[in-house]
């Protein structure tokens, strides 16, 4: 075996290691972004579910439906961006919509913000019908 072919093998091996490291970095970044999105989605779900009944009555909540949504979003690792949660004291079905954001720091890309929106429906008339199981 000649010295030139050993150098070629070393360069090829080094190139393969670099490609493997770049692939692993990419997989890690995609995984971190997916986990951040899942956290934001869970926070949006919790915020919407918390805010929906407060549009009818406070039910022990402190403040408005928007305050309740913000509190639950923060408790689940996100920040409330918007809450379409108008107070409605009627007995009609209503749906609220909540959007939250969550920032994540990724190598190469820097800070990235992911957003998630969730909706929850609340039917106050269900409070009147208590079925025993």
**Would you state the pLDDT for residue 109?**
80
**Would you state the pLDDT for residue 130?**
63
Q: What is the pLDDT along the chain (133 residues), one digit of tens a residue?
A: 455 567 778 888 888 888 898 888 888 888 888 999 999 999 999 999 999 999 998 777 778 999 999 999 999 999 999 999 999 999 999 999 999 999 998 888 889 999 999 999 999 998 887 655 4
- Token pair of 11 as six digits: 């360069």
Question: What three-state secondary structure class fits 22?
Answer: helix
- Token pair of 36 as six digits: 């951040």
- Token pair of 73 as six digits: 């979003």
- Token pair of 90 as six digits: 């009627």
- CA 61/CA 72 separation, integer angstroms: 11
**Would you state the pLDDT for residue 133?**
47
- CA 7/CA 5 separation, integer angstroms: 5
Q: What is the pTM of this model?
A: 0.80
Q: Where are the chain's structural domains?
A: 3-127
**Would you state the pLDDT for residue 59?**
76
């Amino acid at each position: 075996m000649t010295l030139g072919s050993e150098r070629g093998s070393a360069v090829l091996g080094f190139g393969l290691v670099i490609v493997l490291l770049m692939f692993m970095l990419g997989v890690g970044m995609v995984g971190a972004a997916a986990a951040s999105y899942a956290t934001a989605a869970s926070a949006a779900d919790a915020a919407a579910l918390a805010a929906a009944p407060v549009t009818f009555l406070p039910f022990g909540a402190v403040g408005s439906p928007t305050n309740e949504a913000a509190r639950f979003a923060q408790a689940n690792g996100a920040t409330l961006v918007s809450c379409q949660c108008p107070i409605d004291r009627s007995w009609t079905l209503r749906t609220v919509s909540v959007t939250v954001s969550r920032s994540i720091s990724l190598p190469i890309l820097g800070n990235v913000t992911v957003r998630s929106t969730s909706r929850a429906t609340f039917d106050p008339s269900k409070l009147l019908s208590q079925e025993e199981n």
